[in-house]
Structure 1
Amino acid sequence: MIEFFHTKDRLRFLLYVGAIALPILLLSAWVVSSMEDSAAAKGEPNDKGGLHYRIQEKSGAKALPPALAALVSLPPNTAMTDVSADTDSAGRLTSASIKAFSTDDFKTVAAFHRPALAPVTHDAQSSLEGVRDGYDIKISQESKFFDNDPYKDRTKIEYYVTPSKK
């Protein structure tokens, strides 16, 4: 097999094929990857008969899934980089988690969310919990950063949304 490439013409042919094929392969991989990301952001069927949403944007999610957008609003100076949400067959939110990074401190972020939570069930220096429209919402400052976190110089905030237990 290696003897096939001993001539300059055959080696040149192999390089031409590689030069043409490599950009096509890279473009195809990028198109498939962006289509998968787009489908996950628009919602994919889950085992509850609803949809599972997954948005991962280093610069910040532009829009939240409809069921989640009604409950959580974006504070100023904050980028929600990882959003995962599930809905049931009626379109109600069953669970959601959000990772966000803010240039503000946690106290400022908590002050933004506090008026929307009624009642506030837990208020501490690095966490805020409350109820909104029948959902328990927990907002906490995380001190542990991972290698894949896009911002290490900002305040890391995690949101957890679950239906209230009545």
Structure 2
Amino acid sequence: MIEFFHTKDRLRFLLFVGAIAVPILAVSAWVVSRMETSAAAEGEPNDKGGLHYRIQEKSGAKALPPALAGLIPVPPNTAMTDVSADTDGAGRLTSASIKAFSTDDFKTVAGFHRPTLAPVTDDTATTLAGVRYGYDIKILQESKFFDNDPYKDRTKIEYYVNPTKK
């Protein structure tokens, strides 16, 4: 195989093919990646007959899934970087988890959400939980940071949303 490239003409041909193929492959990979990201943000069918949403955006989700948007307002100075939500066949939220990073401390973020929860069921220095529109919402300050976390210098907050059990 290596003997094939011993002449300058054959080596030039290989470089010519590479110069054409590499940009085409790079653009194709970028297009496929954008399409997959877009499809995940718009929702993909799940086993409950509804949709599964997965948004991972370092700078923060531009928009939350429709079932989640009216339920969890985004606090100022906060980027929701990892959103995972599932809906049933009727479009009702069945579960959601969100990882967010804020330049504010947890007390400020909890103060933003506290008026929207009625009743508040748990309120500590690192936890706020309550009910809103028939959903249990739990907001936690997370102290563990992982290698793939985009911001290590901010307050890490996790949201968990589930329908209220009757």
SS in 2 for 1:128: strand
CA distance in 1, matches of 2:106, 2:61: 20
State the Cα distance separating 1:86 from its structure 2 match. 0.2
Match of 1:129 in 2: 129
Match of 2:57 in 1: 57
SS in 1 for 2:89: coil
Letter matched to residue 35 of structure 1: M
Q: Percent identity?
A: 86
Structure 2: state its 5+ residue gaps: none
Letter matched to residue 130 of structure 1: G
Q: In the alignment, does 2:43 pair up with 1:30?
A: no
Structure 1: state its 5+ residue gaps: none
Q: TM-score, normalised by structure 1?
A: 0.99
Letter matched to residue 158 of structure 1: E
SS in 2 for 1:61: coil
SS in 1 for 2:122: strand
CA distance in 2, matches of 1:108, 1:135: 22
Structure 1 ranges of 4+ moved more than 3 A:
none
How many residue pairs are counted as aligned between the two chains? 166
What do you get for the CA RMSD once the two structures are aligned?
A: 0.5
Letter matched to residue 20 of structure 1: I
CA distance in 2, matches of 1:32, 1:157: 31
Letter matched to residue 44 of structure 1: E
CA distance in 2, matches of 1:44, 1:27: 24
CA distance in 2, matches of 1:162, 1:7: 67
